[in-house]
């Protein structure tokens, strides 16, 4: 096995496959062809001496080894981003003037609209967006490596300032053939806690929210049935009949409308949650950062 480190493009490709659940979509995001992406991924596996991705007609899923490498790759890429931002700052380069990070639900369904509104009024603003889980977003904000973060976690560290920018609702979902899809009465929290669920990885705002809801009701969650690190992977597993999951209502809207999954009513808890912007307490918001926060907050109030 070669001792030469993998190139950054291959590491980025691996993280995108994990995020999107598809080699083709990852290739499209990177602006390369699928055959080129497949070749790059194969070379990465040969270089590391590990099978990183299982590929079939339903999509691409990381192996156990692939998930571990992906976690390390994410840290490497984050450090490279930090390096480039620092170099730009030393040059006095003001192009990189809005660095954002967002949890997956916000990044998929809210933040792009806010960025689009901002750039229509300020087309010269350059925006970079890192998509990760809520725990990592707050860590990036606390370290000052981003200008603004967006999270769905139920709590915010005391070192950060925050502002609510929206609300979201969690729903329990199953495949149409699941026994819960045919039941007439809602699922209560005790039964939900006893049930092994498909969940996101530790640090996910969605997972933390439902665990807090169950703990508040005195229910100890069962051991997860499956732990996946992307919303799209959880949705696919549910649709394939692997088991129930708790996800954001907005993230499963299309799946529900097209009948791929079914929402199961829950009783005994309010599953709404706040969506927040976060930033370091000692950093005043100015310029494009302040304007983006204003746009997000305005959207929350229903203004156009």
Q: 174 and 255 in one domain?
A: yes
Mean pLDDT in residue range 7-17: 92
In which domain, by residue range, is 231 found?
A: 167-273
pLDDT in tens, 240-282: 999 999 999 999 999 999 999 999 999 988 899 999 999 988 7
Q: What is the CATH classification number for the domain harbouring 59? A: 1.10.10.10
Domain boundary among 72, 93, 124: 72
pLDDT of residue 258: 92
Q: Which two three-digit tokens encode residue 114?
A: 């806010």
For residue 1, is it within any domain?
no
For residue 211, is it within any domain?
yes
Q: 46 and 117 in one domain?
A: no
Q: How many domains are contained in the chain?
A: 3
CB atoms within 10 A of CB 283: 14
Q: 176 and 99 in one domain?
A: no
Q: What is the CATH classification number for the domain harbouring 186? A: 3.40.190.290
pLDDT in tens, 188-236: 999 999 999 999 998 898 999 999 899 888 888 899 999 998 888 999 9
pLDDT of residue 300: 59
Q: Which two three-digit tokens encode residue 228?
A: 């996946």
Among residues 27, 81, 89, which one has the least CA distance to residue 59? 27
164 near 276, Cβ under 8 Å? yes
Q: Which distant-in-sequence residues (6+ apart) come within 8 Å of 98 by Cβ?
A: 118, 125, 126, 127, 128, 147, 148, 288, 289, 292
pLDDT of residue 141: 92
Give the number of C-alpha atoms closer than 13 A to the C-alpha of residue 185, restricted to the C-beta side.
5
Q: 250 and 199 in one domain?
A: yes
pLDDT in tens, 137-187: 999 999 888 999 999 988 899 889 999 999 999 999 999 999 999 988 999
pLDDT in tens, 63-80: 999 999 998 998 888 788
Q: What is the CATH classification number for the domain harbouring 113? A: 3.40.190.10
Q: Residue 113 and residue 109: Cα distance in Å, rounded?
A: 8
Alpha helix (H) residue ranges in the chain: 8-20, 23-30, 34-48, 64-91, 104-109, 111-121, 134-142, 189-194, 205-216, 231-239, 253-257, 287-300
Q: What is the dihedral of CA 182, 183, 184, 189, to 10 degrees?
A: -140
Q: 106 and 65 in one domain?
A: no
145 near 136, Cβ under 8 Å? no
For residue 110, is it within any domain?
yes
For residue 177, is it within any domain?
yes
Give the 3-state secondary structure of residue 303.
coil
Q: Which two three-digit tokens encode residue 251?
A: 């993230």
Answer yes or no: pTM beyond 0.75. no
299 near 166, Cβ under 8 Å? yes
pLDDT of residue 303: 41
Q: Which two three-digit tokens encode residue 213?
A: 């809801």
Q: 160 and 172 in one domain?
A: no
Q: 216 and 161 in one domain?
A: no
């Amino acid at each position: 096995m070669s001792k030469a480190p993998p190139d950054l493009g291959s590491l980025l490709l691996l993280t995108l496959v994990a995020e999107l659940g598809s080699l083709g979509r990852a290739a499209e995001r990177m602006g390369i062809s699928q055959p080129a992406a497949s070749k790059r991924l194969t070379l990465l596996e040969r270089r590391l001496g590990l099978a990183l991705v299982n590929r079939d007609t339903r999509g691409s899923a990381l192996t156990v080894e692939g998930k571990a490498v992906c976690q390390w790759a994410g840290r490497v890429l984050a450090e490279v981003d930090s390096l480039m931002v620092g170099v730009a700052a030393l040059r006095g380069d003001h192009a990189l003037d809005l660095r954002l990070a967002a949890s997956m639900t916000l990044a998929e369904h809210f933040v792009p609209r806010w960025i689009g509104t901002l750039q229509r009024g300020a087309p010269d603003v350059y925006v970079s967006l890192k998509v990760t889980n809520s725990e990592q977003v707050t860590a990036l904000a606390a370290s000052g490596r981003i200008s603004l973060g967006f999270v769905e976690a139920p709590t915010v560290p005391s070192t950060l300032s925050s502002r609510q920018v929206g609300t979201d609702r969690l729903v329990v979902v199953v495949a149409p053939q699941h026994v819960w899809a045919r039941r007439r009465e809602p699922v209560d929290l005790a039964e939900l806690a006893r049930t092994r669920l498909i969940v996101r990885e530790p640090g996910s705002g969605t997972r933390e929210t439902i665990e807090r809801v169950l703990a508040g009701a005195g229910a100890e969650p069962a051991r997860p049935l499956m732990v996946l690190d992307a919303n799209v992977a959880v949705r696919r597993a549910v649709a394939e009949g692997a088991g129930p999951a708790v996800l954001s209502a907005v993230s499963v809207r299309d799946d529900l409308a097209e009948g791929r999954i079914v929402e199961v009513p829950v009783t005994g808890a309010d599953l709404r949650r706040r969506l927040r912007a976060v930033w370091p307490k000692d950093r005043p918001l100015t310029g494009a950062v302040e304007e983006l926060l204003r746009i997000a907050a305005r959207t929350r109030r229903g203004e156009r």
